[in-house]
């Protein structure tokens, strides 16, 4: 039997190569299609993040006062950047506060001063519903239920239409991002640069009990929370004092004293940090700072002139407004926080001490300075100084009303219910005792310097 040997001709190999080549070309095309479309989706995702973050920041800028406006502003900003997002942006709110001691619970003094995820005062604030991680706590917050919210969360979705992938059955890809922006303290550092003068009442009535000590610690708490590279701070007192020897001398305005004790400074956290003002075992400030030394050694004495420390048109001595407008940084937000526990009864050469105080505060506001006032146990006090005239608009009116009028963005003077007054979003605060005066100071400072900032919510919040 003859055996025939089977052999392959050249045509057989060429056919196999063509089939393999065609297959590889398809794979290569698919890979190119994936690469191009994935790059397109990645770019869309980056654009979506930028748009969503910017929209969240825009909305947060008017929290917590106007949640309806915050949502509208965020949606408007998102659609202005990308009209294709219509119907694909979902806005919700959170209350974000700190967990500075790391115990897994929100710091109770942040609620309701920063935000309140429960019913409005006089109902007691609730600390339930918070999720905490890495020093930040967040809880769902619903303005429609009366909650006070400081954070807006945008969940934004976008569909990327693919150009090449449809040949292999993939027409599009969805991208979803979540952006959260908060305004105020937000459990972290304040972000806006400001020039701030704190005006502290050190009149004789502040010597009762621990009032002066509480006022000093409240001012130091602001320095502790501020960043000297961003926030420059000075201090003024009423009555006037010797700015070079405040601890030993109480020179009044007629004998060389000044309202402005220390001008705008940024040295309050220069090394070494060797002042533990709140006795928590951690050094917070530096004793070599003249600003820190002056606040720490201020002592009570004298009469109450609420107007001249702001703008001294009566005696012409250095004051807060002159310091802010002369030595303040161009383009930087400027503010005054004034604390007082009594009615105005000076200057002697003016017929209406309370009206004079209101006018001096108005001068500051007219100059673009944001004014905050804190009434320290002023319930029941009235503008009844013997130098008030019958024609005075403040004669026999509550001091709380005067202080509210002196503040920017004032709404009312409800010091009979300080928890309500201190969380209503205006620039007037009241405190019946010294227990939480530092937190009231910080709330005022946060409104001035807080701005809006992007934040990372704790997982599950």
Tens of pLDDT, residue by residue over 123-151, are 878 888 999 998 899 999 999 999 999 99
* pLDDT at position 1: 46
pTM of the model: 0.74
What is the architecture of the domain spanning 194-450?
3-Layer(aba) Sandwich (3.40)
* pLDDT at position 253: 56
Buried b (16+ CB within 10 A) or exposed e, 50-61: ebbbbbbbbbbb
Residue 334 φ then ψ, to 5°: -125, 140
Helix ranges (DSSP H) in 61-120 = 67-81, 110-113
Confidence bin at 438 (pLDDT 50/70/90) = confident
Highest mean pLDDT, choosing among 20-34, 115-129, 198-212: 198-212
Sequence ranges of the domains in the chain = 31-183, 194-450
Average pLDDT, the chain: 81
Q: Which tokens in the block code for residue 253?
A: 């305005």
Work out the average pLDDT over 288-302. Answer: 87
Work out the average pLDDT over 26-41. Answer: 58
pLDDT reading at 386 higher than 80:
no
Closest CA to 402 of 419, 426, 381, 424: 381
* pLDDT at position 139: 94
Least confident of 27-31, 90-94, 222-226, 379-383: 27-31
Q: What percent of the chain has pLDDT over 90?
A: 31
Work out the average pLDDT over 236-265. Answer: 74
pLDDT reading at 39 higher than 60:
no
């Amino acid at each position: 039997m003859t055996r025939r040997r089977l052999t392959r001709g050249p045509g057989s190999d060429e056919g196999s190569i063509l089939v393999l080549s065609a297959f590889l070309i398809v794979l290569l095309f698919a890979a190119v299609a994936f690469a191009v479309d994935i790059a397109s989706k990645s770019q869309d995702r980056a654009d979506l993040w930028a748009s969503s973050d910017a929209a969240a920041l825009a909305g947060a800028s008017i929290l917590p006062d106007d949640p309806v406006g915050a949502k509208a502003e965020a949606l408007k900003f998102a659609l202005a950047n990308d009209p294709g997002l219509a119907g694909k942006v979902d806005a919700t709110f959170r209350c974000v506060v700190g967990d500075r001691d790391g115990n897994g619970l929100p710091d109770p003094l942040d609620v309701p001063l920063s935000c309140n995820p429960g019913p409005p005062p006089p109902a007691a604030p609730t600390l339930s519903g918070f999720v905490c991680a890495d020093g930040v706590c967040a809880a769902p917050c619903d303005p429609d239920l009366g909650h006070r919210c400081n954070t807006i969360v945008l969940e934004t979705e976008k569909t990327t239409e693919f150009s090449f992938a449809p040949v292999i059955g993939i027409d599009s890809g969805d991208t979803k991002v979540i952006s959260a922006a908060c305004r105020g303290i937000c459990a972290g550092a304040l972000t806006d640069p400001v020039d701030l003068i704190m005006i502290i009442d050190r009149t004789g009535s502040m010597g009762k009990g621990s009032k002066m000590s509480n006022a000093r610690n409240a001012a130091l708490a602001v320095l502790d929370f501020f960043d000297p590279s961003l926030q420059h701070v000075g201090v003024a007192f009423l009555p006037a004092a010797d700015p070079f020897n405040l601890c030993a001398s109480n020179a009044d305005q007629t004998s060389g004293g000044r309202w402005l004790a220390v001008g705008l400074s940024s040295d309050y956290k220069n090394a070494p940090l060797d002042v533990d003002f709140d006795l928590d075992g951690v050094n917070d400030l530096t004793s070599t700072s003249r600003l820190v030394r002056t606040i720490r050694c201020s002592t009570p004495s004298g009469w109450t002139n609420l107007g001249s420390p702001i703008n001294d048109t009566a005696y012409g001595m250095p004051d807060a407004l002159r310091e802010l407008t002369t030595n303040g940084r161009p383009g930087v937000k400027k503010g005054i926080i004034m604390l007082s526990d009594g009615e105005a009864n000076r200057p002697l050469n003016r017929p209406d001490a309370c009206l004079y105080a209101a006018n001096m505060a108005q001068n500051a506001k007219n100059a673009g300075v944001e004014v905050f006032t804190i009434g320290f146990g002023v319930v029941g006090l009235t503008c009844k100084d013997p130098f008030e005239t019958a024609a005075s608009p403040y004669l026999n009116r509550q001091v709380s009303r005067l202080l509210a009028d002196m503040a920017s963005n004032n709404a009312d003077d409800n010091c009979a219910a300080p928890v309500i007054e201190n969380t209503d979003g205006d620039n007037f605060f009241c405190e019946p005792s010294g227990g939480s005066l530092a937190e009231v100071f910080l709330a005022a400072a946060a409104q001035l310097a807080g701005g809006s900032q992007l934040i990372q919510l704790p997982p599950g919040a």
